[in-house]
Amino acid sequence: QVQLVESGGGLVQAGESLRLSCAASGRTFSNYVVGWFRQTPGKEREFVAAISWSGSMINYADSVKGRFTISRDNAQNTVYLQMNFLRPEDTAVYYCAARWVVLGTTVGEYAYWGQGTQVTVSS
């Protein structure tokens, strides 16, 4: 079992930055792929970024490429999502999720989820 807790959300203006954190506890975190997803009311949860256990493989949604950076510190059991040049359309609840070993980009591939953190970008 892996427990995940997100933090770092908030209200910012367009063009500004935020860094989200996903703190993990439980099983050996370094063996898990971690992904970030986001969801707005009435829409399905969508993939944002994912990072392999070693950090050597990373995948981003096209909508965030060049603006968001995912990274991890296995010694601290934490994964980060640095979000730069934020846009109003980035407004959502952001969730981190974990799965065993293999990189994934769909909600159904991830077994463990955090409770989410709200990001609001004003224009």
Q: Tally the residues of the chain.
A: 123
3-state secondary structure of 61: coil
Q: What is the pLDDT of residues 12-38, one digit of tens each?
A: 999 999 999 999 987 677 789 999 999
pLDDT attached to residue 102: 85
CA distance 27 to 32: 9
Q: Quote the tokens at residue 71.
A: 């990274």
Q: Tell me, what amino acid is at 29? A: F
pLDDT at 10 over 80: yes
The answer to whether 56 and 22 have CB atoms below 8 angstroms apart is no
pLDDT-derived band at 121, boundaries 50, 70, 90: very high
